[in-house]
């Protein structure tokens, strides 16, 4: 797949077919993504791939934690958004709920949608990206994590797979640690749901908007006539 086409066509999928993703395919994706750049080539990342009963246990653990009133708290702090950023977050939710036919006042359906996120959107596999704790206080190393995160999502497209990057999936790190036995030397950064997309799933029709380039770029030192 052409690289620009991949960048343009990648979008978050929130509905997947049940078809399992072969381990060999995920290996290929991660082999490609391991070429991502990192600060001084430190490669601070680790990836825990979950499927089958392990994924089921994480999903169940997440929902049990939610239902028992445990506050979701990932290992990378989240902050509330304000102004234009908050507005984009609201617009996203409105659009997803519209596509899914969820009314604003329908608490039951909203809760059920939220649970889906905590269940890796029922994808057949999930990736849990971790950073070595000895580097986790470096914002540069977190940039490295972003680089491999996006590269995984792009590489997945080449295999007909779709992804949804999600912090929801890793908001109960105690569950992930209990089920996977993950080393205490790793900090959990982000989850990625991965699978073959369900083309009929309404939220998969979502096309999120972007600000025009003019709004995000300052040109310096360019001749206007060029
Ligand atoms: C760091 C990060 C965390 C995200 N967490 C979630 C999440 O918890 N739930 C969700 O539905 N989408 C999540 N997303 C997906 C974003 O909502 C999505 O990337 C954004 O709306 C742009 O849409 P697109 O990916 O379809 O281009 C996350 C994306 C990123 C980069």
Q: Is residue 223 part of a domain?
A: no
Q: Is residue 220 part of a domain?
A: no
Tokens of 191: 């989850």
Straight-line distance from the first to the last Cα atom of the chain, in angstroms, rounded to the nearest whole number = 31
Per-residue pLDDT of the chain (226 residues; tens, 9 = 90+): 899 999 999 999 999 999 999 999 999 999 999 999 999 999 999 999 999 999 999 999 999 999 999 999 999 999 999 999 999 999 999 999 999 999 999 999 999 999 999 999 999 999 999 999 999 889 999 999 999 999 999 999 999 999 999 999 999 999 999 999 999 999 999 999 999 999 999 999 999 999 999 999 999 999 877 6
CA of 75 to the centre of ligand 1 (A): 17
Give the C-alpha separation, 77 to 83, whole Å: 20
Which of 115, 121, 111 lies closest to 55, judged by CA?
121
Q: Is residue 38 part of a domain?
A: yes
Give the C-alpha separation, 59 to 122, whole Å: 9
Query: Does the C-beta of 93 come closer than 6 Å to ligand 1?
Result: no
* CA-nearest residue, atom 13 of ligand 1: 166
Q: Is residue 213 part of a domain?
A: no
Residue recorded with tokens 């300052």: 218
Q: What is residue 226's predicted lDDT score, i.e. its pLDDT?
A: 66
Helix (H, G, I), strand (E, B) or coil at 111: helix
Query: Does the C-beta of 166 come closer than 6 Å to ligand 1?
Result: yes
Q: Is residue 64 part of a domain?
A: yes
Q: What is residue 136's predicted lDDT score, i.e. its pLDDT?
A: 84
Q: What is residue 178's predicted lDDT score, i.e. its pLDDT?
A: 98
Q: Is residue 192 part of a domain?
A: yes
The full 3-state SS of 33-84, as one line of letters, equals HCCCCCHHHCCCEEEEEEEHHHHHHHHHHHHHHHHCCCCCCCCCCCCCCCHH
Query: Does the C-beta of 168 come closer than 6 Å to ligand 1?
Result: yes
Domain that holds residue 140: 3-206
* CA-nearest residue, atom 10 of ligand 1: 166
Q: Is residue 52 part of a domain?
A: yes
Give the C-alpha separation, 46 to 44, whole Å: 7
For position 118, which CATH number holds?
3.40.109.10
Q: Is residue 218 part of a domain?
A: no
Tokens of 161: 């797979």
Q: How many residues does the chain have?
A: 226
* CA-nearest residue, atom 9 of ligand 1: 166
CA of 166 to the centre of ligand 1 (A): 6
Q: What is residue 223's predicted lDDT score, i.e. its pLDDT?
A: 85
């Amino acid at each position: 797949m052409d690289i620009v086409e991949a960048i343009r066509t990648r979008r978050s999928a929130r509905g997947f077919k049940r078809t399992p993703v072969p381990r060999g395919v995920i290996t290929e994706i991660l082999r490609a993504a391991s070429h991502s750049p990192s600060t001084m080539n430190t490669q601070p990342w680790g990836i825990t791939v979950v499927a089958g009963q392990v994924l089921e246990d994480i999903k169940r653990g997440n929902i049990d934690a939610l239902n028992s009133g445990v506050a979701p708290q990932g290992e990378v702090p989240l902050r509330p958004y304000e102004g234009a950023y908050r507005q984009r977050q609201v617009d996203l939710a409105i659009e997803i709920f519209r596509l899914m036919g969820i009314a604003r006042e329908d608490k039951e359906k909203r809760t059920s949608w939220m649970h889906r996120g905590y269940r890796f959107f029922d994808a057949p596999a999930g990736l849990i990206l971790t950073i070595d704790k000895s580097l986790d206080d470096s914002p540069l190393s977190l940039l490295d994590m972003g680089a491999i995160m996006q590269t995984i999502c792009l590489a997945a497209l080449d295999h007909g797979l779709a992804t949804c990057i999600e912090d929801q999936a890793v908001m109960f790190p105690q569950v992930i640690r209990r089920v996977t036995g993950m080393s205490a030397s790793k900090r959990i950064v982000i989850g990625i749901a991965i699978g073959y997309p369900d083309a009929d799933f309404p939220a998969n029709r979502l096309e999120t908007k972007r600000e025009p380039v003019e709004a995000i770029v300052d040109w310096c030192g360019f001749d206007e006539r060029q």
